[in-house]
Chains A and B, each alone.
Chain A
Amino acid sequence: MAFKLTMPQLGLTMKVGTIVEWYKKDGDPIKSGDAVFAVETDKAVQDYESPSSGTLKLAPDVVGKPLPLGIPVEGMIGYLLEPGEAAPAEGQAAADAPEPVAVAAASASTASAVAAPQKVYKSSPLARKVAQLAGIDLATVVPEDGEKIHRKDVEAAVAARDAAKATVPAAPRPVAPAPAPSAPAVTAPLAGKAVPMSQVRRVIAQRMAEASQTTAAVTVTTEADATVLVEFREQAKASLQAAGLPVPSYTDMIVKLTALALQEHPGVNAALAGDEIIEMQDIHVAVAVDTDYGLLVPVIRDVPHKTLQQIAVEAKTLAEKARERKVGPDELQGGTFTVTNLGNYGVDAFTPIINLPQCAILGVGRIVGKPAEYKGEIALRKMLTLSLTFDHRVVDGGPAARFLNRIRQYVEDPYLWLTR
């Protein structure tokens, strides 16, 4: 009996997936557990491991276009056939398909396969209007008829989005429908080179816009004297390197001390869900990683219970996996607070966007020598600017300021937390 290969669900909110790389080609024998292809989902590229064995029979033209989940025909990727078996009748097109499509994609590098334009469906004017009002990105909508997006397809996408939100316990409810952008829906074509949005870019765009439109974001900043922290790290670095151990970065240290501050300020480690504020029992810190294909935010779990050494190793591994697009959806989900460090780029203060459903994000600036008051005199000190953006729907200015002040104390006097 032929086993149908359809687009697998690789994440809770995944609606469509795009095959970006083939590891096997038409006619290859497949064993259960073999990696068959790589799928680009919301934020990651993941290998699909075959749940069954057989000879691979590919459907035509499935590379580089978004496919809906698990739907035979439209979402059909191919078959695994038993010896002597032919593809079923509905897969006749697959049997007749020319092979080069799949082979070409299999030989292409991941990067170039990702750059291949995804299928753009035409959409009715009404579908566009409804999508705009509902805040649905039409590029994520796969039409039922496989050809054109109509109102019903957009409405189905809205229903799917709402259903997905309802199943995530800590997901925030938008208080009002996203306001339509003031720009007209149809404008004159813009001059310039069109770069198709990748799936990652689309998700970033959607999530940033959603956070920007639904949160009541306020940013507070402070300057911390990091001289002792710098001295500590320089000393630790020498000893650790001599012993062949990983050296925690400033980000790692700030992740750790922030998590400890969150333990003392549970109101900031919280999410808005409907008309309830959930103070999260665990502290999982998401760390922004800048990659060639966009911003990814892998999560370091249970930070208060991990040593600086553990955090350093884990953060390094996650960042590398993110840059190689190997980070899994479970490693990108569940963060309760986010740290983003732009200090390497010479930035001081900034206003990061909240990573929903979290309610706050810490922006870390550069450490720079500045004249500052020290023990009643002006001295050259290593100063660090910290920017805390918080959702005023969840946290008020006072508690947010007290939380930021605690972080400042931890930066200025690292032995307060290093000795814990």
Chain B
Amino acid sequence: MRQLMVRDAIKEAIKSEMRRDPRVFLLGEDIIDPWGGSWKTMEGCYTEFGPERVRETPISEEAIVGAAVGAALCGMRPVAEIMFSDFTTRAMDQIVNQAAKFRYMTGGQASVPLVIRTAHGAGRAAAAQHSQSPEAWFVHTPGLKVVAPATPYDAKGLLLASIRDQDPVIFLEHKMNFTTEGPVPEEDYVVPLGKADVKRQGKDLTIVAHSRQVLRALEAAEQVAKEDGIEAEVVDPRTLFPLDVRTIVDSVKKTNRVVLVTEEVQRGSFAEHVASKIMEKCFYDLDGPIIFVAAKNTPIPFAPVMENFVIPDVPDIVAGIRQAMKA
């Protein structure tokens, strides 16, 4: 199968869906050609679909999301881009108080089929205001769906599923993952929301990781398989909400040990939510405490050395795996 980078898989999903469904349109900052978006995920869209369907906006996240929510309420399927997930704070009222609430507050008469694509995560020396992992803010809000693909295949399939979904979806793209390559089918396919993927089979321990950390967890799993003979299973939830608890629990029931990997600060994180689900559903299948490999308790530092120190890397995950096997 042909190999695509994540950003090209996203671009392919956007373009094919815009060709298929005239209600789909884009809005965001620097998205018209020749820029095609800061992450090059919308290159050529303006040229192909024109200014009516590719809306360049001022630097106002609240305006971007507010306009998108209004359009969605009126039957359109907007795909808005917030350049850095850190900037969603500027649009939090529109996301949390408007987009997430309409379906409920109208008794189901209105819905907001909106996708907000935004780049999250650290690793690019972009400093504390451009490197955060705000998954938990959105996972905590009823009315939102939260998606975080790790691979090009999942990025295309999940984005198509998100655009076709009737509810607002926060679509998190890791800024270090845009050039990650992988096989992507040319045809139309969806990866259903709420379905996790076992990225690596193993019998000794379950790693749950999302977004970029899936790739690092897979590397760490290969290393411990070679060096320690430990076979780690890597579960990628892909959709953070609604969460596929069953796949995670089935894996834990098989392996009895858990490492949760996340680029978030641990406290109040999505990973802790996963831990709470494991405790609720399969406490008596745990043969040791759940081990967290998370970002250290600090804003993301600017200096690359410090940034890499703060966020989990393969050696951190390897250490977490070894700790879990002993604990």
Contact = CB atoms under 8 A, between A and B. Distances in A.
A125 B256 CA distance: 10
A150 B287 contact: yes
Contacts of B283: 125
A127 B287 CA distance: 6
A239 interface: no
A126 B256 CA distance: 8
Nearest to A152: B287
Interface in A323-350: none
A75 to B, nearest CB: 21
Nearest to A149: B287
Contacts of B326: 145
Nearest to A129: B284
A128 B284 contact: yes
Interface string A358-370: 0000000000000
A185 interface: yes
B284 A185 contact: yes
Interface string B246-276: 0000000000100000000000000000000
Contacts of A127: 287
A124 to B, nearest CB: 5
A151 interface: yes
A302 B309 CA distance: 77
Contacts of B285: 125-126, 129
A128 B288 CA distance: 12
B312 to A, nearest CB: 25
Contact of B284 (A126, A145, A150): A126
Nearest to A124: B287
Q: How large is the interface on B (under 10, 10 to 19, 20 to 34, 35 or more residues)?
A: under 10
B211 to A, nearest CB: 30
B18 interface: no
Nearest to B253: A126
A181 to B, nearest CB: 14
B286 interface: yes
Nearest to B288: A124
A175 to B, nearest CB: 26
B280 to A, nearest CB: 13
Nearest to A127: B287
A164 B256 CA distance: 29
A158 to B, nearest CB: 15
Nearest to B283: A125
B32 to A, nearest CB: 56
Interface in B275-300: 283-288
Interface string B134-176: 0000000000000000000000000000000000000000000
Interface string A121-160: 0001111110000000000000001001011000000000
Contacts of A151: 256, 287
A145 B326 CA distance: 9
A151 B287 CA distance: 6
B288 to A, nearest CB: 6
Contacts of A148: 288, 327
Q: Which of A124, A128, A148, A151 has the most CB of B within 10 A?
A: A124
A128 B283 CA distance: 11
A37 B287 CA distance: 36
Interface in A103-136: 124-129
Contacts of A150: 287-288
Contacts of A129: 284-285
B222 to A, nearest CB: 25
A370 B315 CA distance: 85
A125 B279 CA distance: 10
Contacts of A124: 286-288
Interface string A164-186: 00000000000000000000010
A92 B307 CA distance: 44
Interface string A233-251: 0000000000000000000
Interface string B288-327: 1000000000000000000000000000000000000011
A393 B256 CA distance: 39
A150 B289 CA distance: 11
A145 B284 CA distance: 21
A244 B240 CA distance: 89
Contacts of A128: 284
Contacts of B287: 124-127, 150-151
A150 B286 CA distance: 9
Interface string B69-112: 00000000000000000000000000000000000000000000
Nearest to B286: A125
Contacts of B284: 125-126, 128-129, 185
A145 B325 CA distance: 12
A126 B288 CA distance: 8
Nearest to B327: A148
A309 B256 CA distance: 62
A148 B327 CA distance: 8
Contacts of B286: 124-126
A182 to B, nearest CB: 16
A185 B327 CA distance: 22
A131 to B, nearest CB: 11
A134 to B, nearest CB: 14
Interface in A203-243: none
A109 B120 CA distance: 68
A185 B284 CA distance: 10
A129 to B, nearest CB: 4
A268 to B, nearest CB: 43
Nearest to B326: A145
B107 to A, nearest CB: 41
A129 B256 CA distance: 12
Q: Which of A126, A148, A185 has the most CB of B within 10 A?
A: A126
Contacts of B327: 148
Q: Which of A125, A148, A150, A185 has the most CB of B within 10 A?
A: A125
25 contacts: A124-B286, A124-B287, A124-B288, A125-B283, A125-B284, A125-B285, A125-B286, A125-B287, A126-B256, A126-B284, A126-B285, A126-B286, A126-B287, A127-B287, A128-B284, A129-B284, A129-B285, A145-B326, A148-B288, A148-B327, A150-B287, A150-B288, A151-B256, A151-B287, A185-B284
Given A125-B284, A126-B284, A129-B284, 15 more contacts: A124-B287, A125-B283, A125-B285, A125-B286, A126-B256, A126-B285, A126-B286, A126-B287, A127-B287, A128-B284, A129-B285, A150-B287, A150-B288, A151-B287, A185-B284
What 5 pairs across the A-B complex have the smallest Cβ distances?
Answer: A126-B287, A129-B284, A124-B287, A125-B284, A151-B287
